[in-house]
Structure 1
Amino acid sequence: MRVKMIVAYDGTNYKGWQVQPNGITIEEVLNKNLSNLLGEQIVVSGASRTDSGVHSLGNIAVFDTNTRMPADKIAFALNQRLPEDIVVQGSCEVEDGWHPRYQNSRKTYEYRILNRTFRMPTRRLDTYFYHYPLDVEKMKKAASYLEGEHDFKSFCAIGAQVKTTVRTIYACDVEKEGDIITIRVTGNGFLYNMVRIIAGTLVQVGGGAIKPEAVKEILAKKDRSAAGPTAPAHGLTMMGIEFENVE
């Protein structure tokens, strides 16, 4: 059977989602512990291959297994084996062949900025500290220009291998609560480093380095050098994925 899992993790100590030779990853930990639990070789496949240091509240993984264990019980059993910074939020059986990357979906990410004079040690792992004051209203205006279908080549890391850089952003909102500025982006898919480059660009807008209207010009140039810097990974959290036609 094919099993779908919702996986939450603190990405601080991992080299991203996908298995790679230069460090431990989320995928590697899941593969090892699922294989030990079920007594067979398990290879999971994720919906979003998050970067090193990026967090998630709801990444989706699928795998095939011959186990007799009910799919909804796997999450409970697996969590007994996983480290405390990875927790499966649920598991269920899906149709054979169902894969999260090939479904119509809406992904949501949040980028959090700690905007205050001094660092706060309790938020060092999940927010980007920026001590210069940021104008949230300007950031909101700039973010609005990103909504809709656009060619986001300017917001894609150089060298990324993709068929097209056109994506649809359903919503790009900026809110401030206390000292935390949250950039929340929902879209049908994201390019490599796209949300972090959006965040870096909006920080420049908020700091007055560029005008909100300049975002339209940045999109039109289709040139990575036109956009702002790539914001640090630890401020980014994948919030979740909504799928059509799946239980």
Structure 2
Amino acid sequence: MNYRMLVQYDGTRYAGWQRQPMGKDTIQGKLEAALGRMTGERIEISGAGRTDAGVHARGQVANVHLPEGYSAEGVRDYLNCYLPEDICVTEMSEVSERFHSRLNAGAKTYLYRISTNTTKNVFERKYIYDLDETLDVGRMKMAADYLIGEHDFQGFCAKKIKKSTIRKLYSVEFRELPGELQISYRGSGFLYHMVRILTGTLIEVGKYERTPESVQEVLRARERAKAGYTAPAKGLCLMRVEY
């Protein structure tokens, strides 16, 4: 049977979603280890997004094929009993054998949180980027408008890849709260560190370190060096995957 699960996790102490060698703790690794104990077999799961080290998720989607005889509710309860307290399976359901969490995904939404307050929030320190500077959000919105649509985002990717770097960015939305700026990115898919580089670039625009129009040059040149810095992982969270 093929099962779809909705997973949330605090990525602070993990080396990202994807299983890695040398015994590094990852979200995929923890899930597979728990499922392996349950079934007595080697289990592999697929995730919709390979979040980086330190990145969080509220709406990660994964799927796994398990032997007959397990109920979705029973698997969910078993996982939540044996997973670490910073990982939780909030939903579990049986799906078509053809469902694949990554290949069938139509859109993903990431949220990046930036603290613009000069006083740090101790209890939010793992989930927000303490920039502690005032940003010109109007300029950031102007820059973001140039990014909407289908583009080659190679310049906003942290490494050269052989596959296509063309992605479609459906929206970039800004929400201003007291002492905090939230940026929500919804797109067809995202490249390695793409959201964090986009955020770093928009921050530089908001700090008057580059012009809003400069993002067009990054898109044209397809060169990482022309984009902004990579914002820290802790401010980023995968919110939703659409099918």
- TM-fit CA distance, 1:38: 2.9
1:192-211 correspondence to structure 2 within 5 Å: 192-211=192-211
Q: Which residue of 2 aligns with 1:241?
A: 241
Separation of aligned partners in 1, 2:153 and 2:209: 21
State the number of aligned residues.
Answer: 242
Q: Is the 8 A contact 1:54 1:233 kept in 2?
A: yes
- TM-fit CA distance, 1:169: 0.4
Q: Which residue of 2 aligns with 1:21?
A: 21
- 2:226 matches 1:226: yes
Aligned letter for 1:216?
A: Q
1:53-202 correspondence to structure 2 within 5 Å: 53-159=54-160, 161-202=161-202
Separation of aligned partners in 2, 1:27 and 1:199: 26
Query: What is the RMSD computed on CA atoms of the aligned residues?
Result: 1.3
Aligned letter for 2:74?
A: K
Separation of aligned partners in 2, 1:101 and 1:26: 16
Aligned letter for 1:214?
A: S
Separation of aligned partners in 1, 2:58 and 2:228: 27
Uncovered stretches (5+) of structure 2, i.e. residues with no partner = none
Q: Is the 8 A contact 1:144 1:173 kept in 2?
A: no
Separation of aligned partners in 2, 1:43 and 1:153: 30
Separation of aligned partners in 1, 2:119 and 2:21: 37
Q: TM-score, normalised by structure 2?
A: 0.96
Q: Is the 8 A contact 2:18 2:50 kept in 1?
A: yes
- SS of the residue aligned with 2:147? coil
- TM-fit CA distance, 1:132: 2.0
- SS of the residue aligned with 1:80? helix
Deviation track 1:13-51 (CA, whole Å, cap 9, x = no partner) reads: 100011112421001100111111233322111111111
